[in-house]
């Protein structure tokens, strides 16, 4: 079933709920190898996004909702996560254009554009122990699922599963970007907080599609 505005709104609301729920966990992950503000910043951003959804017109598109998330995160999150996630949602919004409903190919385009936007801003590569280590496996899994004829919900479920595995797989890595890069081998054994929040956001997308 193609995914429309109601899925997009449900994804964003579920994102707000899971980030609020995992705020302390994300702070704890970031305190270990960063500066301890990731959960606080992401929570502040999504708590600002959710009330704004009521401002969208009834005939708004998924792209309109994603753009609202982008501008709100850029102006409220701060840190590195604000420009990075903000750019992700902005590029995703541009990728889906004004389509009222997203089919499997559009879902893949959304995820791919989001990942490419983060790479463009942050210049991180796979293996640098950043959110890209969750995003890129998610995009790869989505591409593979779509090619095998999976439904939109199945594509997002595959992406979410790959992102969660990707976040776990950051644990043995040495960081090459962001504050954790200063730690050298001391970063080994700690999960990247941005990869973990990415996994939660994509799980929210999959859950919303499952419920649609």
Residue ranges that bind another protein, judged by CB under 8 A: 27, 31, 35-37, 40-41, 44, 74-84, 121-122, 176-179, 181-183, 186
Closest to another protein by CB, 65 or 70: 70
What does the buried/exposed string (b/e) look like for 162-185 if buried means 16 or more CB atoms within 10 Å of the residue's CB?
A: bbbebbebbeebebebbebeebee
Judge whether 150 and 161 are in contact, CB under 8 Å: no
Closest to another protein by CB, 63 or 122: 122
Strand partners, 126: none
Contacts of 128 (CB under 8 A, 6+ apart): 173, 175, 176, 177
Closest to another protein by CB, 44 or 191: 44
Judge whether 167 and 157 are in contact, CB under 8 Å: no
Closest to another protein by CB, 183 or 212: 183
- Which residue carries 């959110």 as its tokens? 131
Closest distance to another protein from the beta carbon of 180 (Å): 9
| 3-state SS class at 3 | strand
The CA distances from residue 52 to 120, 151, 176, 184, 198, in Å, are 27, 30, 36, 41, 22
Closest distance to another protein from the beta carbon of 151 (Å): 36
Closest distance to another protein from the beta carbon of 64 (Å): 20
Closest to another protein by CB, 45 or 62: 45
Closest distance to another protein from the beta carbon of 67 (Å): 16
Q: What are phi and psi of 55, to 5 degrees?
A: -75, -15
Closest distance to another protein from the beta carbon of 117 (Å): 12
């Amino acid at each position: 079933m193609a995914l429309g505005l109601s899925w997009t709104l449900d994804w964003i609301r579920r994102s707000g709920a899971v980030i609020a729920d995992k705020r302390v966990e994300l702070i704890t992950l970031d305190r270990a190898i960063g500066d301890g503000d990731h959960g606080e910043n992401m929570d502040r951003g999504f708590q600002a996004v959710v009330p704004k959804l009521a401002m969208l017109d009834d005939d708004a598109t998924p792209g309109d909702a994603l753009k609202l998330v982008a501008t709100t995160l850029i102006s409220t999150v701060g840190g590195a996560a604000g420009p990075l996630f903000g750019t992700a949602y902005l590029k995703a919004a541009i990728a889906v254009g004004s389509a009222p409903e997203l089919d499997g190919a559009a879902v893949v385009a959304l995820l791919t554009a989001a990942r490419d936007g983060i790479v463009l801003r942050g210049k991180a590569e796979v293996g640098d122990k950043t959110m890209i280590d969750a995003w890129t496996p998610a995009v790869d899994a989505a591409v593979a699922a779509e090619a095998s004829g999976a439904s939109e919900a199945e594509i997002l479920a595959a992406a979410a599963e790959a992102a969660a595995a990707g976040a776990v797989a950051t644990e043995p890595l040495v960081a090459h970007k962001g504050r954790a890069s200063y730690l050298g081998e001391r970063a080994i054994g700690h999960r990247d907080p941005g990869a973990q929040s990415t996994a939660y956001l994509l799980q929210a997308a999959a859950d919303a599609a499952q419920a649609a």
